[in-house]
Amino acid sequence: MPATLQHSTDAVPTTALYFTACMQRSLWHAERLFADIPPEKFCFRQTPNLNHPAFIVGHLSLYPNRIFTLIGRKDLIVDMQPGWVELFQAGSVCVDDASRYPTKDALTKAFFEGYRKVAEVLPGVDDEVFLRDNPLEGRMREVFPKVGIAVNFLCNNHLSMHLGQISMWRRTIGLGPVM
């Protein structure tokens, strides 16, 4: 995966290209963060109240569907595995019980498939879409009233924030930095 979005320098960049370029850098980082974590450690918490990678990656894997809803591409929504939404949605609690969580392979597959699909379709979204009112309800609409603000947050801030949690977790178990 390239660290930056490749596009013609002759073309006028769109908002979606900016969002995608930054998200692709985060995906590059995610590949490195996940690569050397032993599968048996994916649900391990060295420190109380610090979420483990299984929980974080599962949580993040839910959000490509939100992005597809925001940009009006509900046709791209993927059915999540049974129980994943309840296990990983905002407000769920991370627990020290590996039997409750899917495998590292299952989680990272869902994560990368979802975000790579977002990276594939997002550059084709017209800027006009990002000016629309956020169709999501509750706090998400309150904090991010426009589609573009919400998509930017979910593709970049939200993703990077949680990847930073994995970077911190890595250090608690003795794995070094990846950058």
Task: Express each pLDDT in 25-50 by its tens digit.
Answer: 999 999 999 999 999 999 999 888 89
Average pLDDT, rounded, for the chain: 92
36-40, 44-48, 61-65, 73-77, range with the lowest pLDDT: 44-48
3-class state of residue 173 by DSSP: coil
Q: What is the mean pLDDT of residues 85-103?
A: 95
- Cα–Cα distances (Å) from 161 to 11, 26, 75, 165, in that order, read 31, 10, 28, 7
- pLDDT, residue 10, reads 56
Q: What is the mean pLDDT of residues 114-131?
A: 96
Which class for 2: exposed (0-12), middle (13-18), buried (19 or more C-beta within 10 A)? exposed
Q: How confident is the model at residue 5 (pLDDT cuts 50, 70, 90)?
A: very low
- Cα–Cα distances (Å) from 90 to 29, 43, 86, 156, 175, in that order, read 23, 18, 9, 17, 27
Q: What is the mean pLDDT of residues 82-103?
A: 94
Asked whether the predicted pLDDT for residue 3 surpasses 60, the reply is: no
Residues 6+ positions from 91 with CB-CB distance below 8 Å: none
Q: Over the range 46-66, which residues count as b (16 or more CB within 10 Å of their CB) and which as e? A: eeeeebbbbbbbbbbbbbbbb
Q: How confident is the model at residue 11 (pLDDT cuts 50, 70, 90)?
A: low
